[in-house]
Amino acid sequence: MPRVNSPAELEELRKDILSRRDPQKPCVAVCGGTGCHALGNRKVISALQKEIAGRSLTAGVDVKETGCAGFCGQGPVVVVHPEQICYVGVTPEDAADIVSQTVVGKKVIDRLVYADPVTGERTVHESDIPFYKKQMRLLTGDNGKIDPKNIEDYLAIGGYSALVKALSMSPEQVVSEIRSSGLRGLGGAGASAAMKWDACRKAEGETKYIICNSHEGDPGSFADRRVMESNPHNLLEGMIIGAYAMGANEGYIFVGDEFPLTVENTRAAIKQAEEYGLLGKNVLGSGLNLNMQVTIDGGVYVCGESTAIMAAIEGRVGEPWSKYDHATEHGLYAKPTGLNNTQTWALVPSIINMGGEQFGKVGTQRSKGTRVFSLVGEVNNTGLVEVPMGMTLRDVIFGIGGGMREGKKFKAVLVGGPMGAFLPESLLDVTVDFDEFKKAGGSMGPSLIVMDENTCMLDMAEYFLTFLSDGSCGKCTPCREGLRQMLKTTNRIKAGKGARGDLDTLEEISAVQKVASLCGLGQCASSTLLSALKHFRNEFEAHIDGKRCPAGVCKILTTAGS
């Protein structure tokens, strides 16, 4: 492919791609997300291709492996276009029927369409399934339309048009659009994206960097990696626009080594973008020179902290350092650095295309746009969900998630991951909003973990203390020793050897750890424990006073009480 040297050439290329495509041509789209991949999607694809070839239909029917469809708990997901007939739980043995009955015969296979777990009602079309219908999919809506490794698929749906628009503006104007959008960092802290961009833009120095934090090491969380692996060019486009606005010439995407498909798809996208002239020297003739690379982290949870990320990229031990200077002034290699989360970068093309003011109409007064969560746990419909800011947790869990499995009672939802909070049923009407989550004790993490009546909250608190203890760098005493002591205390309570004074001890250690730890991990490490104590203290007391586990989970107490 000849390098594209200008916006005009890019638009000509887009027209050429579209002229070679028939939107009415039958296409069997198979979800290629990590979840469906684990459930055997490649075998389904092979079976479909074999069946189509056997009927001499290869020229007239496409089979495409797409980005994550989101309906992970129902995978592998297959959508037949242009009718948009959605099949779930597809196996290789279903390929013959899909081709003969649906692709050729235009008939729906009832046994393969989604059935509501409560009512049994079947839904044929993807957009009508409640799981999808109640979402607002700015970031994830195109996942099922494109092959993540095919840049022409992205260009065909308007990809890189936001970059063209941004390059026609001044860097100051781009920052102004981000400011008017109200975009806040979606890594959890919620800082103003525009403020960070503007500070980096104004910082002195010819060398500047941008970083995408795609570390995402939280248990139960896969939102950022699915956004990236499903539509990597969208992420790159957002980062290129950011680099232009901030004056950066080097970009890093920091991702966990446990996400091989994410790394594979993103590296392929970078290579394609370089070949097409969208990365490298003089991007689209604009004068912007930008190199991008994927950097693999060491797998330690604390590496997701901003200063630890920069230390790891520099080849040092991935542990936090004191934040005497802002990264926008003194960041990677002591140069001005703009660091944002995956979803923050990925929303930038939508903001530029829609206009900041229009984008800002989505959401609440202080939390704009959408948020992608991995919805997991004891709900009927698990997967990747994208909701507008302002939707209640009740609507997410019971509307999109389809309620609790097997009709069990809701007990809690963890918002904000290991450093978030367990929220009880009385707080289900809290909205997806930075400030509302903070008031409730949580944060805007990438996952929502739902628990039912059979969950022991002491057991859950102990699990996350163990996770954080293993993930801490151990550099500062309050974090390292605080976690060790809290874990030792919860272990003792679980074993039926606790005392009432242990609960006071846990709260005292938490208070010291919060103010004395060096980084956010230590400062927030006790959040899940404290929320469990606040909302489910009676369960802790039952373990201490009655030597019993109300949920019947803690084995020593269950055995002792039997």
Positions of CATH 3.10.20.600 in the chain: 371-450
Structure tokens at 377: 């746990």
Could you give the CA distance from residue 422 to residue 494 in angstroms, rounded to a whole number?
A: 19
Per-residue pLDDT band at 104 (split at 50, 70, 90): very high
Lowest mean pLDDT among 23-27, 31-35, 131-135, 258-262: 258-262
Determine contact, residues 228/262, Cβ cutoff 8 Å: yes
- Please give the pLDDT value at position 218: 83
Radius of gyration of the chain (CA): 25
Lowest mean pLDDT among 73-87, 183-197, 309-323, 407-421: 309-323
Give the closest residue to 133 by CA, choosing from 81, 84, 91. 84
What DSSP character marks residue 125?
A: B
More confident: 195 or 215: 195
Determine contact, residues 122/85, Cβ cutoff 8 Å: no
* HEC readout, 135-160: CCCCCCCCHHHCCCCCHHHHHHCCCC
* Range 114-119 average pLDDT: 92
Helices assigned H by DSSP within 395-450: 434-439
Structure tokens at 234: 């969208």
User: Would you say residue 299 has pLDDT above 70?
Assistant: no
Q: Which helix or strand (DSSP H or E) is residue 511 part of?
A: helix 500-516
Structure tokens at 37: 């991949």
Positions of CATH 3.40.50.11540 in the chain: 151-359
Instruction: Write phi, then psi, for 440 (nearest 5 degrees).
Output: -80, -5
What DSSP character marks residue 209?
A: E
- Please give the pLDDT value at position 298: 67
Could you give the CA distance from residue 382 to residue 406 in angstroms, rounded to a whole number?
A: 14
- Please give the pLDDT value at position 63: 98
Give the closest residue to 33 by CA, choosing from 232, 219, 294, 220. 232
Per-residue pLDDT band at 561 (split at 50, 70, 90): very low
Could you give the CA distance from residue 187 to residue 213 in angstroms, rounded to a whole number?
A: 8
Total Cβ atoms within 10 A of residue 520: 19
> Residues 511-521: pLDDT tens digits?
999 999 888 88
> Residues 224-254: pLDDT tens digits?
999 999 999 999 999 999 999 999 999 999 9
Give the closest residue to 142 by CA, choosing from 29, 265, 45. 29
Q: In what order do the strands lie in the sheet with 337-341?
A: 291-296, 250-255, 209-214, 337-341
What is the fold, at CATH topology level, of the domain defined by 457-560? Answer: de novo design (two linked rop proteins) (1.20.1440)
Give the closest residue to 327 by CA, choosing from 208, 239, 235, 215. 208
Could you give the CA distance from residue 258 to residue 301 in angstroms, rounded to a whole number?
A: 12
User: Would you say residue 562 has pLDDT above 60?
Assistant: no
Give the closest residue to 527 by CA, choosing from 416, 372, 446. 416
- Mean pLDDT value across the chain: 94
Structure tokens at 20: 């070679």
Statement: the pTM of the whole predicted model exceeds 0.85: yes
What DSSP character marks residue 398?
A: I
Determine contact, residues 184/190, Cβ cutoff 8 Å: yes
Which of the four CATH numbers 3.30.1490.390, 3.60.150.10, 3.40.30.10, 3.40.50.300 does domain 22-133 have? Answer: 3.40.30.10
- Please give the pLDDT value at position 188: 67
> Residues 527-547: pLDDT tens digits?
999 999 999 999 999 999 999
Q: Residues with Cβ < 8 Å from 365, sequence gap 6 or more? A: none
Structure tokens at 359: 């984008």
What DSSP character marks residue 368?
A: B
Own/partner pairs for 434-437, CB < 8 Å, 24+ apart? 434/184, 434/190, 434/366, 434/367, 435/366, 435/367
Helices assigned H by DSSP within 91-192: 95-97, 130-133, 151-156, 161-167, 171-181
By percentage, how much of the chain surpasses pLDDT 90?
85
Positions of CATH 1.20.1440.230 in the chain: 457-560
Per-residue pLDDT band at 102 (split at 50, 70, 90): very high
Query: What is the amino acid identity at position 38?
Result: A
Structure tokens at 534: 């606040």
Per-residue pLDDT band at 307 (split at 50, 70, 90): confident
* Range 459-474 average pLDDT: 91
Determine contact, residues 268/227, Cβ cutoff 8 Å: no
User: Would you say residue 301 has pLDDT above 80?
Assistant: no
User: Would you say residue 21 has pLDDT above 70?
Assistant: yes
Could you give the CA distance from residue 101 to residue 143 in angstroms, rounded to a whole number?
A: 26
CATH superfamily of 151-359: NADH-ubiquinone oxidoreductase 51kDa subunit (3.40.50.11540)
What is the fold, at CATH topology level, of the domain defined by 371-450? Answer: Ubiquitin-like (UB roll) (3.10.20)
Positions of CATH 3.40.30.10 in the chain: 22-133
> Residues 216-227: pLDDT tens digits?
888 888 999 999
Query: What is the amino acid identity at position 486?
Result: M
